[in-house]
Amino acid sequence: MLCQVCIHVRLNRYNESYKHEYKQNMLKTHHPTIVHSLDFSSAFDTIDHPILLSRLNDCFGLSGNALAWVETYLQNLYQCVHLGQASSPYTLCLTGVPHSSVLGPLLFSCYVSPISSIASSHNVGIQ
């Protein structure tokens, strides 16, 4: 799965240094900065699993056993809270991806991958 995503990212130029280009363009044009950076830490918890699975299939070509594996992974996510000696009961996570995993940030990136096309469809520029 990681190979498919990496190839897609390279082919579609998602790796470009947008932050650097944005800073350079801002310095040249003297346009004001509306959003400098976004904190996505809470956004990891709001990822809709069916939408993510659809994007993995439609945008990244993930299918068959690989897509089924991701679906099973997402269906079996539980969380609990530890505070001192106390722990809450484990609860099934119906949305989101794990923050502290290798797969979590990759899945989040796949989920938000169409952000530039969504922005441009509403005449919002991203640089």
pLDDT for the residue 27: 53
pLDDT for the residue 115: 81
pLDDT for the residue 16: 47
pLDDT tens string 75-89 = 988 989 999 999 999
Of the given ranges (44-48, 69-73, 118-122), which has the lowest mean pLDDT?
Answer: 118-122
pLDDT at residue 22 is higher than 50: no
State the DSSP string of 71-85: HHHHHT-EE--EETT
Amino acid at 36: H
